[in-house]
Amino acid sequence: MAMNRLSICCLYALLSVLLGGGCGEGDRRSSAAKAAREGILLLGNNAEPQSLDPHKSTAVADGKIISSLLEGLVRPDARESGLVHPGMAESWEKNADATEWRFHLREAFWSDGQPVTSRDFAYAYQRLLHPAFGGRYVEMLYPLRGARAYNHGEIQWEEVQGVSTPDEHTLLLRFENPTPHLLQMLLHYTWFPLPAHHVEALGGMLDRRSLWTSPENWVGNGAYLLQERRMNDYISVVPNPHYWRASEVRNRGIRFLPIVNGYTETRMFFGGKLHITNNVPPEMLEMALSRSLREFCRDPYYCTIFYRLNTTRKPLNDVRVRRALSLAIDREALVARVVHGAGMTAYGFTPPTREYDAYDHSVAEMTQSERESEARRLLANAGFPGGNGFPTLELMTTSRDVQRVTAECIQSMWSRVLGVQVEIRACEWTAYKAAQQNGEYDISSSSWSGDYADPATFVGLWRTGAGNNCTGWGSAVCDAALDAADASPTTAGRMLKLAEAEREMLEACPIIPLYWSERTYMKSSLVVEGWYPLLLDQHPLDAVELRQNLPAEP
């Protein structure tokens, strides 16, 4: 249930003690100030990474670290979302319909001194696509000609026409359909190269237990080297002297702190232990604003907060039940009271843009009373009038406070509107991800942030059997629309087909969209330079500088 006024007042009182007490001037200037003098960025990173192997990871927290350690064909801009710069490729050209791209690689080296070649890219793509590897993000490479057939075991790698290496410094990529948005896709770590010689020496392409990503074995081509990893404490990286832009790296290292609890993280920031946090919990927004408006950041974010429903389990295999659960949620109240306005109510999955809108206007334009009446009607038609006979379901969340409070609020709504009872199970991050990916849940609290600036990164999630679908739902109609989007020769036509696919998914309700999120976090404005609002939150960390000569505090 939602927190009452007394609970919030008590929380504020407690936080005032936690944030203000025990953090005297000596403590406040300890680790963050010391790290700034040393040029080390202290960055909140939300969770302990699943893996630093780009072919085993699916989490945002992992991707931020991986992108500091490895570099793809292109790299992001520090100031403008969607703008790319040459990375391992110093130049490229494409044919008229964007089905063939030729990349010319620069002279660059792995951190062990070996040259980065086109074959390192081909090796990486073969590894992720290999039918025996089981990569969760394999669909990212499906646009390549023959990639899907190879992944399904229908052809051999030698028959894949999508990847070829005419020489060590040329990578030729061919696609099944026009891919004008390729450069945006290439920013994702699934398109990065791997040090083929090193991975082979430490177990080979298909060894999922390989220790090549451990600090003592790490070999990369990015701006940083993996220095140290202390589980549930921190991961530190230091500049890579072999990086082709080593002279342009503006700091002396980064320490990623996997702080799941937002209260703890915000307390650490105000206590002088962090330079940038991952988020400010909704209940602390007012306090953070009043305490330091200059350091509070609220950025647009290409991200959706939603619930997955396991459609393989009764009664969630009934679309009427799924729609009833969705309609019974008062999203306006959720955004206002739980996340305190740090988002926008969602009646679609993909955040809308000028070019794309799959918003369910028919539901959005209903009053909440009308939605609730329809929800009760659907549940009764499914055989559970007033919730009678409805089994108790389990709602799985992570241990983050905002997920818990959201779950309690929705738990109360379902009970009040439908007479349906759910139990909340909070899981540690690793256990949560494993349960979700293995389908060991009823309802799962979820979020998805765009991998690149295009609706396909959201809608493609719901292709039948996709590695990050995790709902058990699939539709031939949705799949056909996605295929048609891929084959469309125009951007407008592609957007229409993507919207068609999304509406098919929304009608079937394997998920419940809740709200489109914003990024709320704290940043040491007097210390940090080179960090700007970015829609995808893909910050090139080598562009971040720590000011050492700080002005005197008032």
Domains recognised in the chain with CATH numbers: 5-50+222-277+523-546 (3.40.190.10), 71-201 (3.90.76.10), 300-518 (3.10.105.10)
Supply φ then ψ for residue 295, to 5 degrees. Answer: -100, -10
In the numeric block, which tokens belong to residue 159?
């028959």
pLDDT for the residue numbered 453: 87
| Residues paired with residue 303 on neighbouring β-strands, in sequence order | 449
Say how far apart CA 274 and CA 265 lie, in whole Å.
8
Q: Supply the pLDDT for residue 26.
A: 36
In degrees and rounded to multiples of 5, residue 501 shows phi and psi of -65, -40
Backbone φ and ψ for 86, nearest 5 degrees, come out as -60, 135
Alpha-carbon distance of 382 to 388, in angstroms, equals 11
Which of the four pLDDT bands, split at 50, 70 and 90, describes residue 30? low
Q: Is 119 exposed, middle or buried (0-12, 13-18, 19+ CB in 10 A)?
A: middle
**Residues 182 and 72: beta-carbon distance below 8 Å:** no
pLDDT range class, residue 354, cuts 50, 70, 90? confident
Quick: pLDDT tens for 488-538: 888 899 999 999 999 999 999 999 999 999 999 999 988 999 999 999 999
Predicted local distance difference test score (pLDDT) of residue 23: 37
- 3-class secondary structure per residue, 233-295: CEEEEEECCCCCCHHHCCCCEEEEECCCCHHHHHHHHHCCCCCECCCCCHHHHHHHHHHCCCC
Percent residues over pLDDT 70 in the chain: 94
For residue 165, the SS3 value is: strand
CA Rg, the chain, in Å? 24
Please, which pLDDT band fits residue 550 given cuts at 50, 70 and 90? low
Instruction: Tokens for 508, please give them.
Output: 């079937």
CA distances from 77 to 126, 223, 305, 446, 531 (A): 28, 14, 26, 28, 11
Q: Which of 60-74, 246-260, 483-497, 503-517 has the lowest mean pLDDT?
A: 483-497
Helix (H) or strand (E) holding 163: strand 163-167
Q: What is the pLDDT, as a whole number, of residue 420? A: 96
Q: Are 225 and 239 in contact (CB under 8 A)?
A: yes
pTM as predicted: 0.84
Select the highest-mean-pLDDT range: 148-152, 338-342, 464-468: 148-152
Q: Is the pLDDT of residue 4 over 60?
A: no
The number of helices, as runs of H, and strands, as runs of E, in the chain is 19, 18
Instruction: Give how far Cα 467 sits from Cα of 139, 156, 437, 438, Å.
Output: 7, 21, 8, 10
Going by pLDDT thresholds of 50, 70 and 90, the confidence category of residue 24 is very low
In this prediction, residues 138-163 reach a mean pLDDT of 96
Residue-wise pLDDT for 371-390, tens only, equals 999 999 999 999 999 999 99
* Alpha carbon distance 191, 121 (integer Å): 8
Of residues 98, 99, 151, 155, the one with CA closest to residue 126 = 151
CA 152 to chain centre: 26
Which residues in 161-181 are b (16+ Cβ under 10 Å) and which e?
Answer: ebbebeeebebbbbbbbbbeb
- What is the total residue count of the chain? 554
pLDDT band, residue 400 (cuts 50/70/90): confident
Whole-number pLDDT of residue 340 = 84
First to last CA, the chain: 42
pLDDT at 156 exceeding the cut of 50: yes
Give the pLDDT of residue 15.
Answer: 41
pLDDT at 505: 97
Cis preceding-peptide flag for 315 (omega within 30 of 0): yes
pLDDT of residue 155 exceeding 60, the answer is yes
Quote the DSSP letter at residue 548.
Answer: S
pLDDT of residue 252: 97
> Both tokens of residue 509?
């309700």
User: What number of other Cβ atoms are within 10 A of residue 206's Cβ?
Assistant: 11
Helix crossing, 319-327 with 368-381: angle to 10°? 160
Which are the contacts of 465, defined by CB distance < 8 A and separation ≥ 6?
474
Q: Report the pLDDT value the prediction gives residue 463, as an integer from 0 to 100.
A: 94
- What is residue 18's predicted lDDT score, i.e. its pLDDT? 40
d(C-alpha 101, C-alpha 74), whole Å: 13
Residue 86: predicted pLDDT: 98
The mean per-residue pLDDT over the stretch 277-305 comes to 89
Please tell me the least confidently modeled range out of 18-27, 318-327, 349-358, 494-503. 18-27
Contact 207, 135 (CB under 8 A): no
According to DSSP, residue 156 is labeled -
497 phi/psi in degrees, rounded to 5: -75, -35
How does residue 158 score in pLDDT terms, banded at 50, 70 and 90? very high
pLDDT of residue 13: 38
Average pLDDT of the segment spanning 54-70: 94
